[in-house]
Homo-oligomer: A and B are copies of this chain.
Amino acid sequence: MPLPEPVPELTSLDLLVSVSELGSISAAAGAHGITQPAASMRLRKLEQVLGIHLLERATTGSRLTPAGEATVEWATPVLHALESLLVGTSALHRSARSSLRLAASMTVAEYLVPSWLGKLAGERGGASVSLEMGNTASVAGLVADGRADLGFIEGARPPGRLSFREVLEDELVVVVGASHPWARRRRVLSPDELARTALLLREEGSGTRQVLAEALAEHGLEVVSAMELGSTTAIKAAAGAGAGPAVLSALAVADERESGALVAVPCEGLRLHRVIRAVWSGRLGPVAARLLAISAGRHPVAGQG
């Protein structure tokens, strides 16, 4: 479902935030490395795109209107989320030398690493971090080979003589779109019932699917797929549209559950837990140790509520 046009520009939203902090258009322009007329035009266009007055301009500077203040408040989470994206993608460059080389499973890399790196950057500015994604085996391999300083794996205990530490617990949850009958269901789901239902799943080989299959296998059951999709996003979109139930990591659906787009269905009698552990080899450097401490800090519980 594409965005409605027209869409405000990220740089213009950022510029508006700067105006609110600095008090004048020209100061904000300077901070962004553009000229004052350019900044003025961008803000005028932003007002036009949003259809509201954002600034009260005066020859002594510019103040935000109440609508402008609200827009700044609404823009802040957009820009924060963008920063996470930039932190994550920039870590994915195969940079030659980095002060910290991470390796992580998909779930950890996608949902946890950017916020950890954000906190790390908040404390020590100039740490260049690289990130490699892979399954548990390949992450363990990178760490064992010394090609990664610190790794994060799911489920299995680390092989060999790697040091490890439990970081947090993840849990798979059954989710459906808000329009699905199960969204209003009160009874707890039984393993049997889940196995009789066609589910939205990743292709064979996905770690999440494997955990689900093993949990069902303990009851002598097998997964039935309604549709095999290529990405977590595709599964979430399909489930949200009511295409059926899906089983995903609680970390992956935290946002959608909060916004109400997806509803978790309580489920009983299945071992859908998995532990996320940090692994490393030898002695940790100072930056790696700091990241480990951040990652093992308090986290919102990924419960099934």
Q: Which residues of A come within 8 Å of B, CB atoms?
A: 2-4, 7-11, 13-15, 17-18, 20-21, 23, 31-33, 50-52, 63-64, 66-67, 69-86, 88-90, 92-93, 106, 109-111, 114-115, 118-119, 122-123, 133, 178, 230-234, 237, 252, 255, 259-261
Contacts and interface: CB of A to CB of B under 8 A. Distances in A.
Contact of A32 (B2, B23, B114): B2
3 residue pairs, one from A and one from B, having the closest CB atoms: A74-B85, A77-B81, A78-B81
Nearest to A31: B2
Contact of A21 (B7, B233, B255): B233
A67 B23 contact: no
Nearest to A82: B78
Nearest to A77: B81
A84 B77 contact: yes
Contact of A93 (B33, B52, B75, B255): B52
List the number of copies, as a whole number.
2
Given A2-B14, A64-B231, A233-B17, A119 B88 contact: no
Contact of A10 (B7, B15, B261): B7
A118 B76 CA distance: 18
Given A69-B110, A74-B81, 4 more contacts: A2-B14, A2-B31, A51-B92, A74-B110
27 contacts: A2-B14, A3-B10, A3-B11, A3-B82, A7-B11, A8-B10, A10-B10, A51-B93, A64-B231, A67-B133, A69-B232, A69-B233, A70-B88, A70-B109, A70-B110, A71-B88, A73-B110, A73-B232, A74-B85, A76-B233, A76-B255, A78-B78, A78-B82, A78-B85, A80-B259, A118-B259, A119-B260
* Interface core residue of A32, A33, A118, A237 (most chain B CB under 10 Å): A237
Given A21-B237, A93-B52, A75 B71 contact: no
A259 B7 CA distance: 26
Contacts of A123: 178
* Interface core residue of A9, A71, A80 (most chain B CB under 10 Å): A80
